């Protein structure tokens, strides 16, 4: 049996199916600015087990330990401030209907940035059951621009956020912030945007990076007319260091393939 390099690659991709990040809205909306504050509502959290100031400090960890570490994104999230908001942010549900898709509550529109608010959800039907730690909605979208996103933390008596470790709480906030910037869930457990909280989570996964790069690609600085140096072409054609390394790499790959063929098919 002869196996070509193409066959080997095909088997590799069959064993490693392509995963995909998802978005949480149908228009692929994103924050148009690069510098997005994450504020915390100033009212007291009743049952969450942490203070508002604690939450604000956790926001700092959530953005800097996760999203701001991505090298492939123009987005820079930052800890905002304690912000006074209407009482509705503490009591009303984020969605007035939530049967598969959310109809944002018009009383809770966030004017700018991301707002985190403790919420006891007195709505009918309630958005929160004990296992739901938060509801996040980019609830101020114009065209493809997100102007504001709302994160409501389940502050009911039976919330499960309060029993998590500090690091897991930070990861939960980072996950919700991910929804706030436009990302949906990933099917990959390795990703922060996986639908369930993983207690040992400490970093972004590939899907998170892919989704971030899709919504917030880095831009190349524009330095004038695009040009291509002839030196680069000459270096490759005349066998400079680049050509040498490429030849060396190709040789190693071919040697590896040849060795494997001998080992497995002879
Ligand atoms: Zn989620």
65 and 172 housed in the same domain: yes
DSSP 194: B
45 and 96 housed in the same domain: yes
Q: Note whether residue 228 is domain-resident.
A: no
36 and 107 housed in the same domain: yes
Q: How far is the CA of 96 from the centre of ligand 1 (A)?
A: 18
- What is the model's pTM? 0.77
In the predicted model, what is the mean pLDDT of residues 99-119? Answer: 93
In the predicted model, what is the mean pLDDT of residues 120-124? Answer: 85
Q: How far is the CA of 65 from the centre of ligand 1 (A)?
A: 18
Q: Note whether residue 166 is domain-resident.
A: yes
195 and 253 housed in the same domain: no
125 and 249 housed in the same domain: no
| N residues, the chain | 266
74 and 163 housed in the same domain: yes
Q: Note whether residue 12 is domain-resident.
A: no
Q: Note whether residue 227 is domain-resident.
A: no
HSE, CB side, 13 Å, CA atoms: give it for residue 139: 25
pLDDT in tens, 163-206: 999 999 999 999 999 999 999 999 999 999 999 999 999 999 99
pLDDT in tens, 1-60: 454 544 444 444 444 445 578 998 889 999 999 999 999 999 999 999 999 999 999 999
Identify the bridge partners of residue 104 per DSSP, sorted by sequence position.
95
Name the phi and psi angles at 113, rounded to 5: 70, -155
d(CA 239, CA 217): 34
Q: Where residue 109 sits, what CATH number does that domain have?
A: 3.40.390.10
pLDDT at 21: 87
Q: Note whether residue 169 is domain-resident.
A: yes
178 and 81 housed in the same domain: yes
Choice between 220 and 74, residue whose per-residue pLDDT is larger: 74
Tell which residue, 143, 88, 144, has the closest CA to residue 115: 88
162 and 203 housed in the same domain: yes
d(CA 139, CA 109): 6
% of the chain exceeding 90 in pLDDT: 65
d(CA 253, CA 249): 6
Residue 219's pLDDT band, with cuts at 50, 70 and 90, is: confident
In the predicted model, what is the mean pLDDT of residues 127-137? Answer: 89
pLDDT at 59: 98
Burial label, 198 (beta-carbon count in 10 A; 0-12, 13-18, 19+): middle
Q: Note whether residue 83 is domain-resident.
A: yes
d(CA 119, CA 183): 22
Q: How far is the CA of 86 from the centre of ligand 1 (A)?
A: 25
pLDDT at 101: 80
Lowest mean pLDDT among 3-12, 75-84, 94-103: 3-12
pLDDT at 122: 85
Q: How far is the CA of 127 from the centre of ligand 1 (A)?
A: 14
Q: Note whether residue 200 is domain-resident.
A: yes
Q: How far is the CA of 169 from the centre of ligand 1 (A)?
A: 13
Q: Note whether residue 93 is domain-resident.
A: yes
Question: Residue 123: which domain range?
Answer: 27-215
Q: How far is the CA of 54 from the centre of ligand 1 (A)?
A: 22
252 and 204 housed in the same domain: no
Alpha helices in 120-240 (DSSP H): 166-180, 206-215, 230-237
Instruction: Evaluate if residue 228 carries a pLDDT over 70.
Output: no
42 and 129 housed in the same domain: yes
Q: How far is the CA of 41 from the centre of ligand 1 (A)?
A: 20
Q: How far is the CA of 143 from the centre of ligand 1 (A)?
A: 23
d(CA 153, CA 176): 9
Number of domains composing the chain? 2
71 and 120 housed in the same domain: yes
Q: How far is the CA of 177 from the centre of ligand 1 (A)?
A: 9
256 and 203 housed in the same domain: no
Q: How far is the CA of 10 from the centre of ligand 1 (A)?
A: 33
Q: How far is the CA of 93 from the centre of ligand 1 (A)?
A: 17
């Amino acid at each position: 049996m002869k196996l070509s390099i193409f066959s080997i690659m095909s088997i590799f991709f069959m064993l490693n199916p392509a995963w995909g990040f998802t978005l949480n809205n149908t228009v692929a909306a994103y924050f148009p600015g690069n510098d997005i504050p994450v504020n915390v509502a100033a009212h007291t959290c009743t049952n969450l087990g942490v203070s508002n100031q604690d939450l604000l400090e956790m926001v700092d960890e959530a953005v800097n330990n996760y999203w701001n570490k991505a090298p492939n994104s123009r987005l820079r999230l930052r800890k905002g401030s304690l912000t006074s908001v209407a009482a509705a942010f503490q009591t009303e549900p984020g969605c007035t209907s939530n049967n598969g898709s959310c109809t944002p509550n018009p009383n809770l529109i966030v004017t700018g940035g991301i707002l985190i608010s403790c919420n006891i959800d007195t709505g009918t039907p309630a958005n929160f059951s004990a296992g739901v730690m938060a509801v996040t909605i980019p609830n101020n979208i114009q065209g493809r621009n997100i102007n504001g996103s709302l994160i409501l933390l389940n502050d009911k008596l039976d919330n499960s956020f309060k029993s998590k470790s500090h690091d897991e709480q930070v990861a939960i906030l980072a996950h919700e912030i991910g929804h706030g910037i436009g990302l949906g869930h990933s099917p990959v457990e390795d990703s922060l945007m996986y639908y369930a909280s993983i207690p040992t989570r400490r970093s972004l996964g590939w899907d998170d990076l892919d989704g971030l790069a899709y919504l917030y690609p880095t831009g190349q600085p524009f330095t004038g007319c695009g040009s291509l140096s002839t030196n680069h072409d000459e270096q490759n054609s005349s066998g400079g260091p680049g050509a040498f390394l490429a030849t060396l790499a190709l040789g190693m790959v071919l040697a590896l393939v040849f060795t494997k063929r001998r080992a497995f098919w002879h």
